[in-house]
Structure 1
Amino acid sequence: MTATQEATRGLVEIHDVHKSYGGHEVLRGIDLTIQPGEVVAVLGPSGSGKSTLLRTINHLEGIDRGSVTVDGQLIGYELRGGRLHELREREILRRRTQIGIVFQNFNLFPHLTALENVTEAPIATGALSKEDAHELALGLLARVGLAEKADQYPRQLSGGQQQRVAIARALALKPKVILFDEPTSALDPELVGEVLDVIRDLAQLGTTLVIVTHEIGFAREVADRVVFVDGGVIVEQGPPSQVLVAPEHPRTREFLAKVLG
């Protein structure tokens, strides 16, 4: 990898993104650049568009207008004749391997063990041989504190353990960007900390992280930047010390007052 490639690894550029469901416009012209290695926390009320925004980054949601690129490469589309055309599914999946995602409800394969859940994507995409994928998965499970759970099925694991397996699975393709969609919202309160600890460790490693979360204290601790979304637009963004401590916009202040009680 050249120095230039290294410098742009994980650069996310979102330009004028619009997304509607029927007559309801969920995203209304989002512009956001996320630097390589930056940790961005996305906050906002329910229905604000924050999860939809996250899912447009890896084309789990298509867009109506605008563009999303990772390191300058369009995700989900190609430009022909000045217009975006959706790629074929195989090419979408290939480009999507650059972007890991961790869902709030884990989305593990119930019929596969923890180890098999982590090895499935590297083997299916041809990125690794079965033996190499097995070795990588064991290392990733150890990294999230679950080496001893490799042969257990999701039903045998707690919610926090399942989410940590999901994080190991997201890491298995060595993505440039990892997206977290409310990663602790489905967990019992006593299990939240173990998942946040793993994300906290990832934040130190230089991977670009985009985290939709309602954990204000966690966002204050790990994020380089907080983005507050409401009504499908970015209302305010900046370092946690500004947005969470001394927000400039009345809507941000109102939201934080409700959340923090």
Structure 2
Amino acid sequence: MSRPMVDLRGVYKSFGTLEVLRGVDLRVRTGEVTVVLGPSGSGKSTLLRSINHLEKVDRGHVSVDGELMGYRRVGDRLHELKERDILRQRTHIGFVFQSFNLFPHLTVLDNVAEAPLSAQRRPRREVYPVARRLLDRVGLADKADAFPRQLSGGQQQRVAIARALALDPKLVLFDEPTSALDPELVGEVLDVMRDLARSGTTMIVVTHEVGFAREVADSVVFMDDGLVLEQGPPAQVLDAPRHERTRAFLSKVL
């Protein structure tokens, strides 16, 4: 079996006395779409942030494409990488946040181009044509010169997806990308994510959109209280869950 794109083994994370992740194991294969479901406070967002070392885990380890995230191993000990090396690792991982996090003083086109220009030091003549193609891909080619404040929430989130793709990442993480949107705007963002899934992009999506999980996911993970209680194909986890907590959660959201 080929090496997984994402490999979490025995991951623990606490904030003070609050234990948020309690021994999480998770593997995601290249090209796979994994949807993470669970109630608020179950550790889903912390899980995502641990994958690209925005949160340092207390125990266990995280690897992306075979590379240990945030650390290097010397003998039997782990040593944290320097910040520049952690930033280099993050350039291979796109992250789409709940709240868009666009730069308000930059145009849409400049928002998409910013990371390859600053983090990857790629030339403008190479970056801007790619940024325009990505805006076209998410249906916003006509908004290249607009500023974020001139866009709807759904449009801003589509720009955020284009920005994440501008780094040509191995993996894209989505942290509840539709939860801040009005209901009528959710569909346009999910359509872009469906297109990414069809193109073979490796994705981990934290969401409450069970319909999206059923339609697009290769694997569904259910988390509660810092634990992965269940993982499997959508038909198994959503239609025939084995764990009572999963059944209780789904009965309220379906």
Structure 2 match to 1:48: 42
1:99 matches 2:93 = yes
In structure 2, stretches of 5+ residues that fail to align are: none
Task: Choose from 173, 178, 182 the match for 1:184.
Answer: 178
Count of residues paired in the alignment: 254
Identity %: 68
Q: CA deviation at 1:127?
A: 4.5
1:126 matches 2:120 = yes
**1:198-243 residue CA offsets vs partner (Å, 9 max, x unmatched):** 0000001111100000001111110000000001010001110010
Question: How many angstroms apart in 1 are the aligned matches of 2:78 and 2:109?
Answer: 38
Q: CA deviation at 1:126?
A: 3.4
Question: How many angstroms apart in 2 are the aligned matches of 1:91 and 1:228?
Answer: 32
Structure 2 match to 1:197: 191
Question: How many angstroms apart in 2 are the aligned matches of 1:201 and 1:52?
Answer: 26
1:161 matches 2:155 = yes
The TM-score, its normalising length taken from structure 1, stands at: 0.95
Question: How many angstroms apart in 1 are the aligned matches of 2:244 and 2:207?
Answer: 20
Amino acid corresponding to residue 107 of structure 1 in structure 2: N
**1:46-105 residue CA offsets vs partner (Å, 9 max, x unmatched):** 000011001111111110011111111011111234222221111100011111000000
Structure 2 match to 1:57: 51
Amino acid corresponding to residue 83 of structure 1 in structure 2: R
Contact kept in structure 1, 2:91 and 2:120, CA below 8 Å: no
Structure 2 match to 1:150: 144
Amino acid corresponding to residue 47 of structure 2 in structure 1: L
**1:31-52 residue CA offsets vs partner (Å, 9 max, x unmatched):** 1110000000000000000110
Superposed counterparts of 1:25-36, under 5 Å: 25-36=19-30
Contact kept in structure 1, 2:113 and 2:127, CA below 8 Å: yes
**1:118-159 residue CA offsets vs partner (Å, 9 max, x unmatched):** 100111123421111110000000000000000000000000
Question: How many angstroms apart in 1 are the aligned matches of 2:120 and 2:73?
Answer: 27
The alignment's C-alpha RMSD in Å is 1.3
Amino acid corresponding to residue 103 of structure 1 in structure 2: F
In structure 1, stretches of 5+ residues that fail to align are: 1-6
Amino acid corresponding to residue 218 of structure 1 in structure 2: F
Structure 1 match to 2:225: 231
SS at match of 1:244: helix
Q: CA deviation at 1:246?
A: 1.0
Superposed counterparts of 1:218-257, under 5 Å: 218-257=212-251
Contact kept in structure 1, 2:52 and 2:69, CA below 8 Å: yes
Amino acid corresponding to residue 13 of structure 2 in structure 1: K
- Where do 4+ consecutive residues of structure 1 move more than 6 Å? none
Question: How many angstroms apart in 2 are the aligned matches of 1:138 and 1:187?
Answer: 24
Contact kept in structure 1, 2:6 and 2:64, CA below 8 Å: yes
Amino acid corresponding to residue 21 of structure 1 in structure 2: F
C-alpha distance 215-132 of structure 1, shift in aligned 2 (>3 A): same
Question: How many angstroms apart in 1 are the aligned matches of 2:104 and 2:222?
Answer: 35
SS at match of 1:47: coil
Structure 2 match to 1:3: none
